[in-house]
Amino acid sequence: MLFTSISFLYYFLPIVITIYFITPKKLRNMILFMASMFFYFYGEPKYIFLMLAEILIAYIGALLIDKYKKKSLLVITISIHIGLLCVFKYTNFAILNINSILGINLSLLRIALPIGISFYTFQILSYIIDVYKGKVEVQKSFLKLATYVSLFPQLIAGPIVRYETIEKELNSRKHNFENFSYGVSRFAIGLAKKVLIANMLGELCNKFIITDEKSILFYWIFAISYMLQIYFDFSAYSDMAIGLGRIFGFHFLENFNYPYISKSITEFWRRWHMSLSSWFKDYVYIPLGGNREGLKKQLRNILVVWLLTGLWHGASWNFVIWGLLFGFILIIEKVFLGKYLEKCPNFVKRIYVLFIVMISFIIFNAENMREAWENIIGLLGLNGESFINPYTIYYLKSYLVILVVAIIGATPLIKDITLKLKKIAKANRIINVLEPLCIVLILLVATAYLVDNSYNPFLYFRF
């Protein structure tokens, strides 16, 4: 069930909110758990038992780890969860590569990738590891642990919410008008970003993919559009998840912080998918030694992290290359490029970041490296196309407004202007009146688009 579906917006969510707030506080975790089970069952019925089994394994494993304090129990529990993730996500990838290397024809497994398994597996792992380290108390209530893992706002596409973030709120959380109104407003912003911007950019990208009338300019339009689409698509989901969490009294951490204004790739990854970056830092990079054991091991640790980051996103060589590309660039920045970047004007730094990110997302989006290579050299005019053609002009005119809106929206410009206006008493009063009206307008316009338009994917569902 998509957050941007009519069934979610006008049936599931209003019913869940109503039942939740008329239910006594001691039963509200049960309501959220049942709602989350229905939410997951609606989209992935056969794999709901896999998720429940993983929750049970984590529950029992954490209790044993807390009682006996043995590292072997930690290793066994982690291995089970990582093993299940690998079976469902990487087995066919491994078989394809074995077939290619050995020239044999092993049959692929007929299994689909369970929705959200990468996200909820990482949440489970962080809980188990933190229990072992003593950072959090073991959860003795199966219901509360199951609610944490399966919580529908962030279940299938993140952000990766650590147990320590909502540990106290699983036991007791505040519900008030301020939280509720903020949650609704944040959800509406995410809905607008997804439906009114990301979906339209996705349509433009699809026009490029299916046409035989490409041009050099159209390659650039596609590359920029996809870079903007994936930002608005994923950050929109995070906005909606954070907003829904706040409605139900949970404070999820931010997942994006205007990454396209970054002045280095290092800064970019402090701003993009922050929950994933911090997860790998705390549970892989630092345990490997981080930067404590000399430069060589630090560089090794960076490459390991980015190899795993690429594989986390998908079982395909383009994801591996995508991850390692960022790993090598981060190493280059750390070893020598960083000190030269500091001396460059800000606009040069930002062009450098945007160009690398644009190329990386061409690789990220491609079905294979041949497609990625064709799209990259197409930017340079090496595919034999003309610089511009009537087809390109037509679609540039058709989507120019949304491209401009997306470019502005990917910067903090609107946010900064709004905050400055709120410091002026009269302007603040006007904003307070207009804000609820804007939310209602967003819901109406987004609904109209959803009813009229069938193109409504979430890019990160495949991870």
Give the catalytic positions in this structure.
Answer: 313
Evaluated on CA atoms 295, 300, 304, 309, the torsion sign reads positive
DSSP 154: G
CB 291 within 8 A of CB 298: yes
Task: State the CB neighbour count (10 A cutoff) for residue 310.
Answer: 23
Q: Omega before 159 cis (within 30°)?
A: yes
Q: How far apart are CA 197 and CA 189, in angstroms?
A: 11
CB 280 within 8 A of CB 309: yes
Q: How far apart are CA 300 and CA 283, in angstroms?
A: 16
Interior angle at CA 46, CA 89 and CA 316, nearest 5: 15
Q: Give which of 262, 264, 191, 293 is closest to 233, Cα–Cα.
A: 191
| Residue found under tokens 């594989």 | 311
Q: How far apart are CA 185 and CA 247, in angstroms?
A: 10
Q: Collapsing DSSP states into helix, strand and coil, what is residue 345?
A: coil
Q: Give which of 219, 197, 199, 217 is closest to 209, Cα–Cα.
A: 219
In angstroms, the Cα distances linking 109 to 43, 53, 88, 89 are: 21, 21, 9, 11
Q: How far apart are CA 90 and CA 71, in angstroms?
A: 26
Q: Omega before 14 cis (within 30°)?
A: no
For residues 146-174, one letter each, b for 16 or more C-beta atoms within 10 angstroms of the residue's C-beta and e for the rest, the string is bbbbbbbbbbbbbbbbbbebbbebbeebe
In angstroms, the Cα distances linking 450 to 9, 219, 238, 302, 463 are: 11, 28, 19, 42, 24
Q: Collapsing DSSP states into helix, strand and coil, what is residue 458?
A: coil
DSSP 412: S
